[in-house]
Amino acid sequence: MSGRLVATALVAAALLVACGRELSVEPPRIEVAGVVIGAREDAVSARYTLSDGRVWTANKDVYRLLTVGWSGDLLVAGTDTDGQFVATFMRQDGLPADCYVENRPGVEWGDYIEIRGVLWPKAPGFRAGGDVPSRGSAYEGGTRFCFDRDGLIASTVAH
Protein backbone atom coordinates (compact mmCIF):
# COMPACT_ATOMS: atom_id res chain seq x y z
CA MET A 1 0.00 0.00 0.00
CA SER A 2 1.38 3.42 -0.89
CA GLY A 3 2.17 5.99 1.80
CA ARG A 4 -0.57 8.27 0.49
CA LEU A 5 -3.15 5.47 0.69
CA VAL A 6 -2.08 4.57 4.22
CA ALA A 7 -2.36 8.23 5.29
CA THR A 8 -5.83 8.47 3.74
CA ALA A 9 -6.91 5.28 5.51
CA LEU A 10 -5.61 6.56 8.85
CA VAL A 11 -7.46 9.86 8.46
CA ALA A 12 -10.67 8.03 7.53
CA ALA A 13 -10.29 5.71 10.54
CA ALA A 14 -9.73 8.67 12.87
CA LEU A 15 -12.85 10.39 11.53
CA LEU A 16 -14.90 7.24 12.01
CA VAL A 17 -13.67 6.92 15.59
CA ALA A 18 -14.48 10.57 16.30
CA CYS A 19 -17.94 10.24 14.76
CA GLY A 20 -18.57 7.01 16.65
CA ARG A 21 -17.52 8.63 19.92
CA GLU A 22 -19.83 11.55 19.34
CA LEU A 23 -22.74 9.25 18.61
CA SER A 24 -22.06 7.05 21.64
CA VAL A 25 -22.58 9.94 24.09
CA GLU A 26 -26.05 11.42 24.23
CA PRO A 27 -27.15 14.61 25.97
CA PRO A 28 -28.70 14.04 29.39
CA ARG A 29 -32.38 14.36 30.13
CA ILE A 30 -32.34 16.92 32.95
CA GLU A 31 -34.97 16.04 35.56
CA VAL A 32 -34.36 18.87 37.98
CA ALA A 33 -32.21 22.01 37.98
CA GLY A 34 -32.33 24.88 40.39
CA VAL A 35 -30.60 27.17 42.84
CA VAL A 36 -30.12 25.49 46.21
CA ILE A 37 -31.22 27.42 49.30
CA GLY A 38 -30.98 24.46 51.69
CA ALA A 39 -29.43 21.02 51.66
CA ARG A 40 -29.35 18.13 54.09
CA GLU A 41 -27.30 15.00 53.64
CA ASP A 42 -27.13 11.71 55.50
CA ALA A 43 -25.62 8.30 54.75
CA VAL A 44 -28.33 7.28 52.26
CA SER A 45 -29.64 10.47 50.67
CA ALA A 46 -29.21 14.16 49.92
CA ARG A 47 -32.25 16.45 50.15
CA TYR A 48 -32.35 19.83 48.44
CA THR A 49 -34.65 22.80 48.87
CA LEU A 50 -34.61 24.99 45.78
CA SER A 51 -35.25 28.73 45.50
CA ASP A 52 -38.58 28.13 43.73
CA GLY A 53 -39.87 26.06 46.68
CA ARG A 54 -39.33 22.59 45.20
CA VAL A 55 -37.81 19.92 47.41
CA TRP A 56 -35.91 17.10 45.74
CA THR A 57 -34.18 14.05 47.25
CA ALA A 58 -31.47 11.85 45.74
CA ASN A 59 -30.97 8.31 46.96
CA LYS A 60 -27.17 7.87 46.96
CA ASP A 61 -27.49 4.22 45.92
CA VAL A 62 -29.42 5.24 42.78
CA TYR A 63 -27.75 8.47 41.63
CA ARG A 64 -24.06 8.72 40.75
CA LEU A 65 -22.34 11.88 41.90
CA LEU A 66 -20.53 13.74 39.09
CA THR A 67 -19.00 16.53 41.15
CA VAL A 68 -16.85 16.67 44.27
CA GLY A 69 -19.64 16.71 46.85
CA TRP A 70 -23.39 16.48 47.34
CA SER A 71 -23.73 20.16 48.32
CA GLY A 72 -23.48 23.24 46.12
CA ASP A 73 -25.22 26.40 44.94
CA LEU A 74 -26.81 24.82 41.85
CA LEU A 75 -28.33 21.35 41.63
CA VAL A 76 -28.60 19.52 38.31
CA ALA A 77 -29.93 15.96 38.25
CA GLY A 78 -30.84 13.82 35.32
CA THR A 79 -30.31 10.70 33.31
CA ASP A 80 -27.77 9.98 30.59
CA THR A 81 -26.47 6.87 28.85
CA ASP A 82 -24.76 5.78 32.09
CA GLY A 83 -27.88 6.18 34.26
CA GLN A 84 -29.06 8.71 36.82
CA PHE A 85 -26.70 11.41 38.09
CA VAL A 86 -26.47 14.40 40.43
CA ALA A 87 -24.13 17.34 39.92
CA THR A 88 -23.79 20.37 42.16
CA PHE A 89 -21.94 23.49 41.11
CA MET A 90 -20.60 26.36 43.22
CA ARG A 91 -20.08 30.04 42.58
CA GLN A 92 -16.49 31.21 42.39
CA ASP A 93 -14.99 34.57 43.36
CA GLY A 94 -14.02 36.62 40.32
CA LEU A 95 -16.70 35.10 38.08
CA PRO A 96 -20.15 36.57 37.33
CA ALA A 97 -22.71 36.15 40.13
CA ASP A 98 -24.97 34.04 37.91
CA CYS A 99 -22.13 31.62 37.03
CA TYR A 100 -22.32 28.20 38.64
CA VAL A 101 -18.89 26.99 37.69
CA GLU A 102 -17.33 23.77 36.51
CA ASN A 103 -13.54 23.85 36.36
CA ARG A 104 -12.91 20.42 34.81
CA PRO A 105 -11.70 20.06 31.19
CA GLY A 106 -14.30 20.25 28.43
CA VAL A 107 -14.55 19.10 24.80
CA GLU A 108 -16.43 21.09 22.14
CA TRP A 109 -19.27 19.30 20.29
CA GLY A 110 -21.20 22.10 18.56
CA ASP A 111 -24.39 22.58 20.59
CA TYR A 112 -22.82 20.68 23.53
CA ILE A 113 -19.73 20.58 25.72
CA GLU A 114 -18.61 17.26 27.13
CA ILE A 115 -17.48 17.52 30.75
CA ARG A 116 -17.05 14.59 33.15
CA GLY A 117 -18.40 12.25 30.49
CA VAL A 118 -21.70 14.15 30.19
CA LEU A 119 -22.68 15.97 27.00
CA TRP A 120 -24.01 19.22 28.53
CA PRO A 121 -26.24 21.37 26.29
CA LYS A 122 -25.27 24.97 25.64
CA ALA A 123 -27.88 27.56 26.58
CA PRO A 124 -29.55 29.68 23.90
CA GLY A 125 -27.34 32.75 23.59
CA PHE A 126 -24.22 30.82 24.72
CA ARG A 127 -21.26 33.21 25.07
CA ALA A 128 -17.69 31.99 24.60
CA GLY A 129 -15.15 33.90 26.68
CA GLY A 130 -12.31 32.86 24.39
CA ASP A 131 -11.64 30.79 21.34
CA VAL A 132 -14.03 27.90 20.75
CA PRO A 133 -12.02 24.84 19.76
CA SER A 134 -12.90 22.80 16.70
CA ARG A 135 -15.49 20.05 17.08
CA GLY A 136 -14.13 17.13 19.13
CA SER A 137 -11.24 19.20 20.55
CA ALA A 138 -10.57 20.23 24.13
CA TYR A 139 -11.02 23.76 25.43
CA GLU A 140 -7.86 25.53 26.52
CA GLY A 141 -6.62 24.51 29.97
CA GLY A 142 -8.05 26.63 32.77
CA THR A 143 -11.30 27.39 30.92
CA ARG A 144 -14.24 27.78 33.31
CA PHE A 145 -17.71 26.64 32.26
CA CYS A 146 -20.62 28.67 33.66
CA PHE A 147 -23.91 26.81 34.12
CA ASP A 148 -27.18 28.73 34.34
CA ARG A 149 -30.16 28.02 36.64
CA ASP A 150 -31.54 25.55 34.09
CA GLY A 151 -28.44 23.35 34.11
CA LEU A 152 -27.24 24.55 30.69
CA ILE A 153 -23.80 25.95 29.88
CA ALA A 154 -24.37 29.69 29.44
CA SER A 155 -20.79 30.78 28.89
CA THR A 156 -17.10 30.03 29.17
CA VAL A 157 -14.44 32.08 30.87
CA ALA A 158 -10.89 31.64 29.55
CA HIS A 159 -8.01 31.86 32.00
Phi, psi of 156 (to 5 degrees): -120, 155
Long-range contacts of 36-41 (CB under 8 A, 24+ apart): 36/71, 36/72, 36/73, 36/74, 36/75, 36/88, 39/70, 39/71, 39/72, 41/70, 41/71
80 found inside a domain: yes
Classify 20 as helix, strand or coil: helix
13 found inside a domain: no
Are 153 and 118 contacting, i.e. CB atoms less than 8 angstroms apart?
no
135 found inside a domain: yes
pLDDT confidence band for 18 (50 / 70 / 90) = very low
21 found inside a domain: no
The single-letter code of the amino acid at 106 is G
The single-letter code of the amino acid at 24 is S
Condensed to tens digits (0 to 9), the pLDDT of residues 82-96 reads: 999 999 999 999 999
pLDDT at 8: 33
69 found inside a domain: yes
4 found inside a domain: no
105 found inside a domain: yes
- Tally of domains in the chain: 1
pLDDT at 24: 53
pLDDT at 11: 34
Condensed to tens digits (0 to 9), the pLDDT of residues 97-121 reads: 999 999 999 999 999 999 999 999 9
pLDDT at 54 over 90: yes
Distance CA 140, CA 122 (A): 17
55 found inside a domain: yes
| Domain interval for residue 106 | 29-157
Between 86 and 12, where is the model more confident?
86
